[in-house]
Amino acid sequence: MKTILFEENQLVITLSSLESVLGLKHKIEIPYNDIKEVSIEDIQQYLWKVYGTHMGPSKYGFFKKDGLNYFVATSTNKGNLVLTLNNHKYDKIILEMDHVADVLQQIQNKLSTHIK
């Protein structure tokens, strides 16, 4: 299970042990100023795997498409949290989350109070 920590100047996403093995990544730090948009989306597009795991709808790791860099950690194509970023290693981060609507609201609230 993923966890999201709201630190003073950044969002920290920590992946579970299995997700870390499948995606070859344990933690992603994202400064709030780098977050351009946050949404919930169904992901139907094909992404080119750079490293990680891709089996059916399950995708964990670093992917590319049309010159954009993605970090993906999901086992479903439906209802994923999508962070669109500026000035970051990844252009988009796509995550499967429990209570995704609540997480989306928490991030939006943090962004509205952090970015003035």
DSSP codes, 37-84: EEEEE---S--EEEEEEEETTEEEEEEEETTEEEEEEES-SSSEEEEE
- How far apart CA 51 and CA 67 sit, in angstroms, is 16
Contact 56, 72 (CB under 8 A): no
- Residue 79: predicted pLDDT: 93
For residue 46, name the pLDDT band (cuts at 50, 70, 90). confident
- Choice among 3-7, 47-51, 93-97 with the minimum mean pLDDT: 47-51
Taking the chain, what is the end-to-end CA distance rounded to the nearest angstrom?
A: 32
- Here the tokens at position 38 are 């946050």
Q: Which amino acid is at 104?
A: L
Residue 47 has pLDDT above 60, yes or no: yes
